[in-house]
Amino acid sequence: MENTVKILNEVIGKIKDYNKKYGINIDEFHNVLFVTSILLALLFIFYIIFILFAIFFKKSKTNKVVLLLGPCESGKTTFLFKLKTDKMCRTVPSMKENVAFVFLKNIKKSKYIQFVDFPGHPKLAFGIKKYLNITNVIVYMLDSSDRQSLKYVAENMLELFMNKAIVKRQIPIIIFCNKTDLCNSRPKKVIKEDLEREIEILKMSKYNSLEDDMNDETECFLGVNSEFFRFERAPIHVEICSASIKNNNVDEVIELIGKYY
């Protein structure tokens, strides 16, 4: 403490010497020092605010992902390309995800939303884990004319319903029945009933295989054993819509996506 006082006295003494020698006004010097201190403090506060804003903006931005899932040839990449460019395109099955920011106008507040088009190849399904913590809504696309993929889609649905991260965050799922322009396409009501029937079969198979290891958590994912599966009883919110990307009839699915932004 004594050393600090001694140093301060020496500094004051030197300032007085400079004042005598060069005619510096001590009061003016104090005023300049005070104003400079205020400006530096304000600059520091603005810097902190900027850092906090940047962190918040980055967090809010990365938590607005629409995850496009579904079998190959269901129209995921075509849908993303259509949203981004308002044009149709011919695509081939991809082995890696496509990421794009899309400006959606047909929602309450027009904004840029990040879409992730994830490959439909079964061997790549494990890769969705890295996106689940930043996903707002899952859009599961299927070909409404493809009856052969029904069991595969039902298996995917059950896996999503049993995914702990999805259930914990209550990530909603929009089932997008695409290609309604085809003459052999099925109405969404029929697709819904067919999927519920297939999921019920898979659910009972899961129950039988896990009977010895059943717990409340598993029952929450699979539903009550005695009740026939319905999407209304799923552990997360599910909505179903039908559309045709080819006919530019996608307003319903865009409106549903907009509900979560």
Known binding residues: 70-77, 94, 120, 178-181
- Are residues 185 and 255 in contact, defined by beta-carbon separation less than 8 angstroms? no
Instruction: Please name which of 175, 98, 100 lies closest in space to residue 140, comparing C-alpha atoms.
Output: 175
- Are residues 160 and 138 in contact, defined by beta-carbon separation less than 8 angstroms? yes
CA 254 to chain centre: 15
Q: How far apart are the C-alpha atoms of 122 and 140, rounded to whole Å?
A: 14
For residue 18, what are its two tokens?
Answer: 């400079």
Q: How far apart are the C-alpha atoms of 215 and 210, rounded to whole Å?
A: 9
Binding-site residues for Mg(2+) sit at 77, 94
**H or E element: which one contains 173?**
strand 173-178
Binding-site residues for GTP sit at 70-77, 120, 178-181
Local structure of 65: helix, strand or coil: strand
Read off the DSSP letter of residue 249: B
Instruction: Write down the H helix ranges in 147-226.
Output: 150-161, 164-169, 188-210, 216-222
